[in-house]
Structure 1
């Protein structure tokens, strides 16, 4: 069995893998030999519970740190329950998130306000489709690249990343986005905390399986 949980980062995603190691659970070695199916069931439940705990924790911490609605952060987190390899995974999309999803945008005289942020010179409008977003014209004196990360001018009026071309690209617009780059350093800490939580939950689940087995022995 593998040595423990770990995380892996790419340019646009982060993945945390949780896996238990029975050797970390002192006092259950004999039980693992006698009832391997019970051990496997306990580990499966423990990993799935730890994934749910980790998803809630990350959503709360990122939401507070980046001033983004927790519900919007949760949509970037996908938990994959434990499979036959004894691993459970939590995927986190790290591409910038639309600022309009950080809270409830309000159009004000100076621009748009949302979740404590102000985008001067911007407007809240459905430019393409029925969903409104926060936009600014590139030519605006209030345009700042830091408020519109990962934006590239598109050609032929087609959208790419945060940029669109309005009226045949005469008035290029950029969508207000929030970078998630600052959450990258937390992955190692999240993984370590999740693994420690996993060991606690696994002991509880193993004890539950043991009590079930003892109960059947007593009743027999």
Structure 2
């Protein structure tokens, strides 16, 4: 436990690392008599509980902000512990998410709607892959690149990112996606809140270990 919690981001991912600061843990003077194994057990449970708490709250916040179903956001979040240094990690995929996963898709003659978004001129169909998505022909007068982020024109060899060449590239299509760029500024506040939560849960778990130790010694 040499450092506190922190976060870092890349072009496509965000990573929050939770770790109790050694100085802060030493501040729990009443736990000085605990065995090292008991302290490690308490720390491990505190990390796992805080990761679950953080995953739930981020999924709700992102789902609310971007109007995306919470279940779809949760699929972008991966929580795990790393090594023996008492560190927990929460990975968040920040690439644009398929609009078809945001909620219930409704298709009409004029286009497709989902989660309060309207894609005029688009259609809902299985074109590429094993499930249907929301597509639009790039030649359509309704095509707006901002509704189809993370897309590159397909090369002759096949599809690239959100684009696919239909009928030998004569009718290029773009897949509707939702950008997650607007959630990036929140990583610092999420990390801070999670670290404070970790310290609270850590104290609870240390109390639990202290109670077990007291009972084992016949003092409880």
Which range, TM-score by smaller chain? over 0.9
Asked whether 1:151 is paired with 2:154, we answer: no
Please list the CA deviations of residues 64-104 of structure 1 after superposition, one character each: whole Å capped at 9, or x if unmatched: 10000100000000001253121010000000000000011
Aligned-residue offset at 1:155 = 1.1
User: Take 1:160 and 1:32, find their aligned partners in 2: how far apart are those partners?
Assistant: 58
Q: How does 1:97-136 map to 2 (within 5 A)?
A: 97-136=97-136
Counterpart contact for 1:157–1:166, Cα < 8 Å:
no
Q: Secondary structure at the match of 1:17?
A: strand
* Greater mean deviation of Cα atoms: 30-39 or 82-91: 30-39
Structure 1, unaligned runs of 5 or more: none
1:61 match: 61
In structure 2, the CA distance between the partners of 1:51 and 1:80, relative to structure 1 (3 Å rule), is same
Is the contact made by 2:34 and 2:213 (CA closer than 8 Å) also made in structure 1? no
Q: Which SS does the other structure have where 1:89 is aligned?
A: strand
Is 1:139–2:106 an aligned residue pair? no
1:26 to partner: Cα distance: 6.4
Distance 1:93 1:75 in 2: 9
Does structure 2 retain, via aligned residues, the 8 Å contact 1:39–1:209? yes
Structure 1-normalised TM-score?
A: 0.95
Question: Cα deviation per residue 1:102-159 (whole Å; 9 max; x = unaligned)?
Answer: 0111101210010010000000000124310000000101000100001100112511
Calculate the TM-score normalised by the size of structure 2.
0.95
Q: How does 1:158-197 map to 2 (within 5 A)?
A: 158-197=158-197
For 1:27 and 1:218, the matched residues in 2 are separated by 26
Equivalent residue number for residue 52 of structure 2: 52
Aligned position for 1:89: 89
Map 1:73-84; keep pairs closer than 5 Å: 73-84=73-84
Residue 31 of structure 1 and its aligned partner are, at CA, apart by 2.9
Question: Post-superposition shift, 1:25?
Answer: 4.1
The count of corresponding residues between Structure 1 and Structure 2 is 220
Distance 1:106 1:51 in 2: 35
The root-mean-square deviation of aligned C-alpha atoms, in Å, is 1.6
- Are the counterparts in 2 of residues 152 and 163 from structure 1 also a CA contact under 8 Å? yes
**Partner Cα separation in structure 1 for residue 31 and residue 55 of structure 2:** 31
CA distance in 1, matches of 2:58, 2:206: 26
Map 1:7-86; keep pairs closer than 5 Å.
7-25=7-25, 28-29=28-29, 31-32=31-32, 34-86=34-86
